[in-house]
Structure 1
Amino acid sequence: MVNLLDDLAWRGLLYQQTDAEGMEQLLNKEKISLYCGVDPTADSMHIGHIVPLLTLRRFQMHGHKPILLVGGATGMIGDPSGRSEERQLQTTEQIDLNVQGIKKQMEQIFDFQSENGAQMVNNRDWIGSMNVIEFLRDFGKLININYMLGKDSIASRLDTGLSFTEFAYTLIQGIDFNHLYDHFGCRVQVGGSDQWGNITTGLEVIRKTHDDNTKAYGITIPLVTKADGTKFGKSASGSIWLDAKKTSPYEFYQFWINTADSDVVKYLKIFTFLERAEIEALEVTVENEPHLRKAQITLAEEMTRLIHGQDALDQAIRISQALFSGDLKALTAEEMKDAFKDVPSVEMSKEDKTIVDFIVEAAVSPSKRQAREDVTNGAISINGEKITDVAYVVGGADRLEDEFMIMRRGKKNYKMIKFV
């Protein structure tokens, strides 16, 4: 089997390590438990969240045991890392709902059944029962204020303002690492590059509460960016979520399909579990036959299958093929609604109208004369059916679920008609 740390380095997944030599010796000597935390600030993760988790999954594939911490306690506080202002505090009920949503997504990524199956924990189980005197006496005395002021996540907020609540966040996360070290034998924390300060605080807490033989380690993953330096993980319609209700599998698939040639090999390394030889072969196709987009198709298939499963991937491919061919009849009403949710739309009444009047009112064609020409020339279709009779009456049979229809003019000009 390929050396894990060498593989992580080749994939560009190693940014900072607290003790690279000690970490390598540890992994060569034994199978370990290691963890990554996610705060439940929303009921779904987006693709920017999953790089450290996918890295943890790589450790699991090499025989190590992942501990997945969902921050039911830290989510109530708010991590100042990477933020210019205070987070809006959420209710306990909302955080509980968020925890459940994130757990389901973790179950899609990790193996929970094998000998080194993943284990989920919630830090509210040990932080929630701690009173303020215990916190201040047992842990507050361990960390010097000057040490905390040296953290980028804190120092960057001193001019704009930082509450004591968020100031204390790094220490609370340090308590987490210490608790997992004591109760789960956890030796390593993995996080994004913005978590370096929190990880090292955890190591400081462990160092001060144990003897000199104690060894724990931290690894961070670099921030994923596009080749042009812009932020990764957003489309025209916003963040790419793992929840199918927020970002449909089709939209998810399309996000990866539309990856630029300059980014696709990098993303194959970071996000997929393909072997090095497979990725290098796809890299050759990007250079020699980029028009085939083999690398993008592979990336989209691997990611959609991982997050949403094979059935959702099959549906995303079916929608994509139908749109490419123009054969919308192959799609269900729900698939059409999904595929065209971001196209221009117009609201109209359910009154029956001739096709010419309908086209003009929907602003598909600019005039009745142009509308008649478009119909006669076969340029107009409704829900994938070409309409060539200018006397055709648009009625209830054309309304999908009695709510909407998809009208196309020419090859690529789509409009969704919403009936009110």
Structure 2
Amino acid sequence: MARVRPLSGYPEWTPSERVVESAVLDSLRHTFRLHGFGEIETRAVETVERLAGKSEAAKEIYTLTRLNAEVDADARLGLHFDLTVPFARYVEEFQNDLAFPFKRFQIQKVWRGERPQEGRYREFYQADIDIVGRQSLPAHLDVEVAVVMARALAALPLPGVAMRVNNRHLVEGFYRGVGISDIAGALRSVDKLDKIGPDGVRAELVEQGVPDTAADAVLELARISAPDASFVAAVEDLWATTTTIAEVADAQAELRDGLTQLVALVEGVNAAVPGTAVADLRIARGLDYYTGSVYETFLEGHEDLGSICSGGRYDSLVAGGGFPGVGMSIGVSRLVSRMLGAGLVSASRAVPTVVLVAVTDEDTRGASNAIADQLRARGIATEVAPSAAKFGKQIQHADRRGIPYVWFPDSGEVKDIRSGDQVPAQPETWAPPADDLYPRIVRHDG
């Protein structure tokens, strides 16, 4: 028989690892629902034309065809590579059935044909939240989305996160003030700061026709960072010494609008989850459709992983316009992979089973099954021993499975095999401690 060869980029967790992943997903759902976000699920496929759009995403799309099927235009389907494109189609298709502002969360697998590496997969879970309006959307919802995501991350057993935020109005107003006309090109270059460094970004800006003094000002702006409103003074000082265009009033108004929104964002998030938000003016989010707040979130001590959660404000979710929104997305599989790989967490046990009911002999297996069913009826996950071996071997079986308790039908006692404690118990009334009822995440500090 041929040896099975693994496929890279498609994570398959062990049962104990799956406990961690499931707990993360359940925690995210709980937080999103607490804040009024309704869950949707979209189909796994969209037309290739819609998926690719005008971006370079086409090279990452997995297409679908039936074996021996004739290929035609209608058969050009692909697996979604993120949740934004299908969500945009969903809003466009069902707009008459939705109440706006529409608050949605979506947790699904996506597929992306990129090179697998640590924390990068071809099949993975994403968790998105968005608030979408019809024609308009209040700026305070930029803060709400960030607060909800900050609380969702704070509820997970993580060492801490830093949500680094910026505002496109601030940045674009400043860029115009120093004489830059290709704002989108400059933003895409600044977005590469971590990859190519300041010298590389400066070279790209100059190649785009940005004057040396303006390129220096852009890099100086990107160095400004603060966990509170103190960044405002630094921006204003830089603005006063670098603006060059005559028609500066409009650019200054846009910059001040961005400053106001960014202060509200930093202060709002830190009021809800202290120490989380940092104004970081190097955060650019190179995608052209962002028009206001932008967010990138990093796991403290694991910054090499890159942003685990990002997003921003956009003028319209739907190509035709009219649906402004704001949203954030967590790369769940990437996050879980680091949590497991770095030993940050583990599962308390790999199986849901709390109790193994022992079997004295095969003639009395029916009595053991009856006890198990009584426990199950009360929500206690229970197994019956697979064989009527000596009790010592049945205890060993429970230990290998990770089952914490063994029930002895003859004596009417239950044993905690971790501590050795054994007490009388009735299946109608006995319950394990709350921490033992379900598998849970165990956090490991350090």
Normalising TM by the smaller chain, what interval? under 0.3
The structure carrying a bigger strand percent of its residues is 2
The structure carrying a bigger helix percent of its residues is 1
Could you say which structure has the greater relative contact order, defined with CA pairs below 8 angstroms and 6 or more residues apart?
Answer: 2
What is the TM-score when the length of structure 2 is the normalising length? 0.25
